């Protein structure tokens, strides 16, 4: 069996004069969870739609499970699952009816469906909700059902387009447990997300920005190799005052709140720690700790996007 | 500034919130968190006068929301979860419309709108149709519209859902500005790193307030230690210790294991289990607790009782 | 049958059954339409409100008024006092016709001269006006013959000439229900299939489910067929409903073969489903689909021979009407029901439907497939 589940070579998509995807090349191995990260409109969804044969690439080529994305879209669709951004479920149908319908359109027999339904619903936490109407389900349950429907035909590759937008942390953990279990069985997953803590869950990931793939690697590689700047994490109080003081000092390229901490990003930050401490304390801010840390994925992400903007400003 | 006393809201067969009581002091940023269907949106709606509670009393600035809804509406700005502006109007037309609704005087309007546009960094997009704005810009426009009548209280229902990290940062910068002007804010969010930035957090579950405190206190008063470890076989490593003594929850994040244990000394015992199972796990260390850990732990405990 | 298609049909039936109100509406529409058209649209014009200004006031003038009254076409409510009064009444719409008998009418007749009578007709409704026009002339002529006969003392009808004896076939009593009921069947078949096909597909687009379906192995023809089969079933149920009601309530005869009627209706459905599909590929919301579906109904209603006879239309409009599929179906349905004729009589119509149906369907399918991208 081929070890590569999906690959693209310089794939591009133009809409009129707008370049949505610009020479993107990447590959996903079997059993791998691969994350595509990027702001809204960066080209993530367009990329997925090309891989599914919904859009024809303007140039470049791609293969999914060994099939050409342009010529063999039918064969691809039979073997992959897709959960789109919108919950694509029928609100007037019950949970079981939705599942059976999606299984049915892939030609799964009724007997097999009943068995899989029990199985998947148990893992995904939908047991006992078979007869509930989808319109009455909470957002998290809907999202789990959407995933269950995409799994009804046991796809070898799963495309998830922002599967966890608006889903609470507990449901999100359940979802990821399921993805890991799938990957362990040899299925591959391509997932787009906005949650940086979620991106850490991926085996490998890529940043996509303005249609281009600007960085790729494991989460660890991203943090250690992709970041030219360094990060100081400051635990202090009150935060708002500290933020104002540090920004006004202009010692760092960026000063941002990160949860209840401040991340100050810049060059040679180690030397700036003690002056920063002194400055904050002189303004009445109590500093508990300040140290250079490995940047978070969010830091890397934002720094990387900023550098793209600096190198190639948007001409408008 | 805001006070809920024994508030219950029932819809036909469902009780969305049950005997809910809490107060929000003036100038606070109060974060409401909790799983889907916990009652966060309903709480905001009864506070915003969009809905009347089935039982109990809600006051905003000491004004009863049921008895004097019009007076309350002057005090609050409510931003619902769904984009509630008109996609086929431009940015400025939308703001003008809201200015009309709130009866803001013509003379000051141009200046007010210019100020809000500048505040939301939307000045250069003012003639763009709202539907052609990015998700993050739509949220900022909605926020600007909500601020039109200079409310003293802001009620924001998941304003950053579906917004990318860059826009999320910008949105929070705006909220910080508003907060510094002394406006009281209640915000619901599924992002717990955002909840860490609130001055106070309420955790809702099944229509009830399970915990309510400063994020720091919630996090530090966890009553558990967080361990992180690294392993190429993270999934197996997790299964091996899931049922071990003292282990409260385990989650995997790529090759990182995150364990909540009752005390740090458990690490040695865990290593032994992994070794016995032939799983290599390295770099076991104690890490700072996050609000998410507190959240997961509290809800698991709540479910058990 | 393949399992994908079956899954879609099954799902579609669940949607329909889950929404009992819409289902009820689908069964009530034909009944309402049938009753409204069966009773309200009547071409039998009788008892028009009429006022007489009799300036003559002689036995002869009274005789003429009596003749008009007896004709049944004119309901003579009262006498006016002046010509102006008639004008006022016509203006206000209180009356549809006015008869003015000038002074000297009786004298003229007595002298053997030609006496003139004016009949004023409200022409705003041409159908009413033309009936009144013809009736006023025939009543006048009959009265004229009577007067001549009296004067000559001989029976003019015995002097030779032509006697017309019209005989009406198929609908001897000229009941409009007989004309309307078959037409209602056609219009309902088209309405239900076009509108509901469009709505059901646009709804999937609004829900976002269509995107999900497109990435499944479902082929676009399976999606279309699967979605319309339930509506075809409902359309046929409605068809039978109208047939039963038409026969037992309105007494409309079914002289020909019902299976032939159903068979040829299927041919027509290809065209109307195609129109629904076309609408669904253009409309972005259910509201838009609704308006567009009504738009496609307009030519069918007005130039499909549903309400107004095609022969009376100007040539260019008749030419356009050849593109309206309903036109052919109506000929077929009326032919089968009222005339009892068989397939042989509809060669042209069947051929036209065989060309139009696949053509519309093909064009719509192409557009539809494009709209999925």
Rounded (10°) CA dihedral C369, A60, A48, C368: -10
pLDDT computed for residue C1 by the predictor: 54
B13 pLDDT tier (thresholds 50, 70, 90):
confident
Cα atoms in the Cβ-side hemisphere of radius 13 Å centred on C87: 3
The DSSP code sequence of B12-61 is TTEEEEEEEEEEE-TT-EEEEE-STTSSHHHHHHHHTTSS--SEEEEEET
From A188, A217, A246, the end of a domain falls on A217
DSSP 8-state symbol, C38: I
Of residues C3, C18, C209, nearest to A88 (C-beta) = C209
Residues A181 and A269 both lie in one domain = no
Residues A169 and A209 both lie in one domain = yes
**Mean pLDDT of the residues in chain C:** 84
Average pLDDT estimate for B277-299: 85
Chain A positions contacting chain C at CB under 8 Å are 52-55, 74, 77-78, 80, 82, 84, 86-93, 97, 100-107, 109
Average pLDDT estimate for B264-293: 88
Of residues A139, A260, A301, nearest to B215 (C-beta) = A260
User: Distance (Å) from the C-alpha of residue A140 to the closest C-alpha of chain B?
Assistant: 6
Cβ under 8 Å to A: B residues 142-161: 158, 161
Question: Which chain A residues are within 8 Å of B256, Cβ to Cβ?
Answer: 200
What is the distance between the alpha carbons of residues B191 and B186, in angstroms, rounded to a whole number? 15
Using DSSP bridges, classify how beta strands C97-101 and A212-217 pair: parallel, antiparallel or unpaired.
unpaired
Of residues A39, A138, A141, nearest to B164 (C-beta) = A39
Average pLDDT estimate for B289-294: 84
Residues A155 and A47 both lie in one domain = yes
Evaluate whether chains C and A are touching (3 or more beta carbon pairs less than 8 Å apart): yes
Residues A239 and A106 both lie in one domain = no
Residue C144 burial (C-beta neighbours within 10 Å; 0-12, 13-18, 19+)? middle
A189 pLDDT tier (thresholds 50, 70, 90):
very high
Nearest to B7 by CA among B54, B64, B40, B50: B54
> What CATH number has the domain bearing residue A183?
3.40.50.300
A308 pLDDT tier (thresholds 50, 70, 90):
confident
pLDDT tens for B168-180 read 888 888 888 888 8
pLDDT computed for residue A316 by the predictor: 40
* Backbone torsion region of residue C100, taken as left when φ is above 0, otherwise alpha when ψ lies between -120 and 50, otherwise beta: beta
From A193, A217, A241, the end of a domain falls on A217
pLDDT computed for residue C42 by the predictor: 59
Residues A199 and A273 both lie in one domain = no
Instruction: Specify the pTM.
Output: 0.76
Nearest chain B residue (CA) to A297? B165
* pLDDT over threshold 90, residue A25: yes
A316 within a domain of the structure (yes/no): no
Question: Which chain C residues are within 8 Å of A106, Cβ to Cβ?
Answer: 4, 216-217
What is the distance between the alpha carbons of residues C367 and A63, in angstroms, rounded to a whole number? 28
The structure tokens listed for B116 are: 């809000």
Average pLDDT estimate for B284-299: 84
Contact B253 A169 (CB under 8 A): no
Residues A144 and A129 both lie in one domain = yes
Question: Which chain B residues are within 8 Å of A173, Cβ to Cβ?
Answer: 251, 296
What is the distance between the alpha carbons of residues A31 and A6, in angstroms, rounded to a whole number? 11
Interface test with C, best of A104, A133, A157 (most C CBs within 10 A): A104
What is the distance between the alpha carbons of residues B187 and A307, in angstroms, rounded to a whole number? 32
Residues A182 and A240 both lie in one domain = no
* pLDDT over threshold 50, residue B245: yes
Question: What range does the domain containing A298 cover?
Answer: 224-311
Residues A66 and A23 both lie in one domain = yes
What is the distance between the alpha carbons of residues A203 and A21, in angstroms, rounded to a whole number? 23
Residues A254 and A303 both lie in one domain = yes
What is the distance between the alpha carbons of residues A217 and C254, in angstroms, rounded to a whole number? 77
With a CB cutoff of 8 Å and minimum separation 6, the contacts of A243 are A255, A257, A262, B176
pLDDT tens for B33-70 read 987 778 898 999 999 988 899 999 999 999 999 999 88
What is the distance between the alpha carbons of residues A195 and A35, in angstroms, rounded to a whole number? 11
Which residues of chain C form CATH 3.40.1710.10?
A: 48-159
User: Distance (Å) from the C-alpha of residue B33 to the closest C-alpha of chain A?
Assistant: 9
What is the distance between the alpha carbons of residues A266 and A247, in angstroms, rounded to a whole number? 12
Fold of the domain built from segment(s) B2-219: Rossmann fold (3.40.50)
Is the Cβ–Cβ distance between B155 and B48 less than 8 Å? yes
Residues A20 and A106 both lie in one domain = yes
The structure tokens listed for B123 are: 């000045």
The structure tokens listed for B29 are: 């940023």
pLDDT computed for residue C82 by the predictor: 87
Average pLDDT estimate for A164-186: 80
Provide the ipTM: 0.74
Question: Which chain A residues are within 8 Å of B190, Cβ to Cβ?
Answer: 166-169
What is the distance between the alpha carbons of residues C221 and A191, in angstroms, rounded to a whole number? 31
From A189, A217, A245, the end of a domain falls on A217
Q: Does B254 touch chain A (CB under 8 A)?
A: yes
What is the distance between the alpha carbons of residues C81 and C70, in angstroms, rounded to a whole number? 22
A314 pLDDT tier (thresholds 50, 70, 90):
low
What is the distance between the alpha carbons of residues B55 and C156, in angstroms, rounded to a whole number? 97
Q: Report the domain count for chain A.
A: 2
**Would you kindly state where each structural domain of chain B is located, as residue ranges?**
2-219, 223-288
- Using DSSP's 3-state secondary structure scheme, residue C74 falls into strand
B partners (3+ CB pairs within 8 A) are A
pLDDT computed for residue A2 by the predictor: 61
Contact C209 A90 (CB under 8 A): yes
- If you average pLDDT over each of A311-315, B301-305, C46-50, C281-285, which comes out highest? C281-285
Is the Cβ–Cβ distance between B119 and B146 less than 8 Å? no
End-to-end CA distance of chain B: 33
Is the Cβ–Cβ distance between C95 and C103 less than 8 Å? no
H or E segment and range at residue C100: strand C97-101
Fold of the domain built from segment(s) C48-159: abc type-2 transporter like fold (3.40.1710)
A partners (3+ CB pairs within 8 A) are B, C
* pLDDT over threshold 60, residue A111: yes
> Which residue positions in chain C have pLDDT lower than 70?
1, 40-45, 156-157, 172-175, 372-373
Of residues A165, A197, A256, nearest to B169 (C-beta) = A256
Where do we find the tokens 């190198």? Answer: A311
A158 within a domain of the structure (yes/no): yes
Fold of the domain built from segment(s) B223-288: Alpha-Beta Plaits (3.30.70)
pLDDT tens for B97-151 read 888 877 777 778 888 899 899 988 899 998 999 888 888 889 999 999 988 888 9
């Amino acid at each position: 069996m081929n070890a590569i589940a999906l690959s693209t070579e310089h794939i591009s998509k133009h809409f009129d004069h707008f370049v949505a995807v610009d020479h993107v090349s990447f590959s996903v191995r079997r059993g791998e969870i691969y994350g595509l990260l990027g702001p809204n409109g960066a080209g993530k969804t367009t990329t997925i739609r090309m891989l599914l044969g919904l859009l024809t690439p303007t140039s470049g080529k791609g293969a999914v499970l060994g099939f050409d994305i342009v010529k063999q879209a039918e064969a691809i669709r039979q073997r992959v699952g897709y959960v789109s951004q919108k919950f694509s479920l029928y609100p007037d149908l019950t949970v079981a009816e939705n599942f059976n319908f999606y299984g049915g359109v892939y030609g799964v027999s009724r007997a097999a469906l009943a068995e899989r339904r029990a199985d998947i619903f148990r893992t995904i936490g939908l047991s006992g909700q078979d007869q509930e109407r989808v319109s009455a389900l909470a957002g998290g349950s809907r999202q789990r059902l959407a995933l269950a429907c995409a799994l009804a035909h046991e796809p070898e590759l799963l495309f998830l387009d922002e599967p966890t937008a608006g889903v609470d942390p507990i449901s999100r953990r359940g979802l990821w447990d399921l993805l890991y279990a799938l990957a362990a069985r040899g299925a591959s997953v391509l997932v787009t997300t906005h949650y940086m803590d979620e991106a850490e869950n991926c085996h490998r990931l890529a940043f996509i920005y303005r249609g281009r793939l600007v960085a790729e690697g494991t989460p660890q590689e991203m943090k250690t190799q992709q970041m030219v700047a360094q990060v100081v994490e400051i635990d202090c109080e009150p935060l708002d005052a500290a933020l104002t003081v540090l920004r006004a000092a202009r010692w760092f390229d960026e000063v941002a709140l990160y949860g209840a901490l401040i991340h100050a990003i810049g060059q040679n930050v180690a030397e700036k720690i003690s002056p920063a401490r002194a400055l904050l304390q002189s303004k009445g801010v109590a500093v508990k700790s300040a140290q250079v840390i490995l940047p978070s994925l969010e830091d890397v992400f934002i720094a990387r996007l900023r550098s793209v903007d600096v190198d190639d400003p948007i001409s408008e | 500034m805001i006070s809920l006393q024994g508030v219950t809201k029932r819809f036909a067969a469902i009780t969305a919130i049950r005997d809910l009581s809490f107060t929000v002091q003036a100038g606070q940023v109060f974060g409401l968190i909790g799983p889907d269907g916990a009652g966060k949106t309903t709480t905001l709606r009864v506070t915003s006068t969009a809905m009347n509670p089935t039982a109990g009393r809600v006051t905003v600035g000491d004004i009863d929301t049921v008895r004097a809804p019009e007076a309350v509406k002057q005090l609050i700005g409510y931003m619902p979860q769904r984009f509630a502006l008109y996609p086929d109007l431009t940015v400025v037309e939308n703001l003008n419309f809201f200015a009309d609704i709130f009866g803001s005087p013509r003379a000051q309007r141009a200046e007010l709108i210019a100020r809000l546009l500048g505040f939301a960094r939307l000045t250069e997009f003012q003639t763009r149709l709202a539907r052609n704005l990015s998700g993050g810009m739509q949220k900022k426009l909605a926020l600007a519209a909500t601020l039109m009548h200079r409310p003293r209280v802001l009620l924001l229902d998941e304003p950053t859902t579906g917004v990318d990290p860059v826009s999320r940062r910008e949105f929070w910068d705006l909220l910080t500005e508003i907060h510094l002007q002394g406006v009281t804010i209640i915000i619901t969010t599924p992002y717990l790193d955002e909840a860490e930035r609130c001055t106070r957090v309420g955790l809702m579950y099944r229509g009830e307030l399970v915990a309510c405190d400063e994020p720091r206190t919630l996090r530090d008063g966890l009553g558990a230690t967080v361990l992180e470890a690294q392993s190429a076989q993270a999934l197996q490593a997790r299964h091996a210790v899931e049922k071990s003594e003292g282990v409260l929850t385990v989650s995997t994040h790529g090759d990182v294991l995150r364990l909540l244990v009752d005390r740090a000394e458990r690490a040695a015992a865990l290593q032994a289990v992994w070794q016995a199972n032939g799983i290599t796990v390295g770099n076991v260390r104690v890490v700072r607790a996050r609000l998410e850990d507190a959240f997961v732990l509290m809800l698991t405990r709540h479910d058990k009782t | 049958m393949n399992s994908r298609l079956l899954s879609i049909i099954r799902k579609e039936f669940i949607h329909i059954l889950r929404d009992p109100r819409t289902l009820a509406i689908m069964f009530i529409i034909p009944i309402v339409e049938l009753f409204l058209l069966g009773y309200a649209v009547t071409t039998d014009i009788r008892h028009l409100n009429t006022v007489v200004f009799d300036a003559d006031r002689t036995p002869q003038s009274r005789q003429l008024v009596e003749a008009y009254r007896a004709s049944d076409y004119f309901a003579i409510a009262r006498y006016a006092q002046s010509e102006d009064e008639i004008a006022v009444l016509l203006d206000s719409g209180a009356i549809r016709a006015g008869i003015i008998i000038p002074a000297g009418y009786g004298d003229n007749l007595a002298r053997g001269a030609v006496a003139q009578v004016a009949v004023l007709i409200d022409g705003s409704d041409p159908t009413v006006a033309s009936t009144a026009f013809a009736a006023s002339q025939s009543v006048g002529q009959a009265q004229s013959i009577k007067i001549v006969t009296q004067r000559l003392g001989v029976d003019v009808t015995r002097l030779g000439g032509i006697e017309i004896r019209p005989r009406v076939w198929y609908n001897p009593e000229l009941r409009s229900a007989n004309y309307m009921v078959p037409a209602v069947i056609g219009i309902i078949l088209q309405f239900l299939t076009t509108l509901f096909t469009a709505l059901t597909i646009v709804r999937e687009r609004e829900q976002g489910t269509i995107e999900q379906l497109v990435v499944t192995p479902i082929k676009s023809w399976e999606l279309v067929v699967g979605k319309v089969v339930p509506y075809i079933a409902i359309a046929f149920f409605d068809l039978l409903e109208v047939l039963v009601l038409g026969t037992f309530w309105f007494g409309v005869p079914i002289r020909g073969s019902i299976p032939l009627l159903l068979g040829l209706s299927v041919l027509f459905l290809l065209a109307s489903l195609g129109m629904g599909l076309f609408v669904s590929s253009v409309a972005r919301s259910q509201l838009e689909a609704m308006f567009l579906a009504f738009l496609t109904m307009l030519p069918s209603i007005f130039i499909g021979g549903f309400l107004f006879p095609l022969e009376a239309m100007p040539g260019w409009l008749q030419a356009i009407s050849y593109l309206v599929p309903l036109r052919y179906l109506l000929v077929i349905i009326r032919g089968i029901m009222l005339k009892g004729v068989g397939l042989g009589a509809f060669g042209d119509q069947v051929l036209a439907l065989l060309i139009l149906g696949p053509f519309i369907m093909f064009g719509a399918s192409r557009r539809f497939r494009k709209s999925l991208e």
